[in-house]
Amino acid sequence: MNVYVLRYRTEYSDSDMVSVFNTLRGVMNRLEISDLHGNFDEGETFTIECMEVTSEEDSLERLNNIRKHYANKENNK
C-alpha cells in the first residue's frame, strides 16, 4: 500500500509540517485549500512524496530474507 506525504516548509522554520494522504487527490485537495487561503508565499516549499506502507509481517519477511542472503553468502566463501 502506498501513501502520499505532503511536506510543507516556510523560510522562517527549520522544521517540516507533514500531512499523509491515502490518495494523490487528497494531496491536491490540501494544496487547493492553501491556494484558496492565499497561503502560498515566496520561500515556501511543498514536497509530495509517494511512500510505501509496510506491515510488520512484511518487514520481518524482508529482514529474514536479507539474513538468509548474508548467511548463504558467508557459507559460500
Domain boundaries, the chain: 2-75
For the chain, list the strands marked E by DSSP. 2-9, 17-21, 45-52
What is the residue whose three cell numbers read 516548509?
9
Q: How do the pLDDT tens digits run along the chain, 77 residues long?
A: 899 999 998 888 888 999 999 999 999 999 999 899 887 778 888 999 999 999 999 999 999 999 999 999 888 87
Q: What is the pTM of this model?
A: 0.71
Cα dist. 36→7, 25, 43, 49, 58 in Å? 18, 16, 18, 22, 41
For residue 54, the model assigns a pLDDT of 94
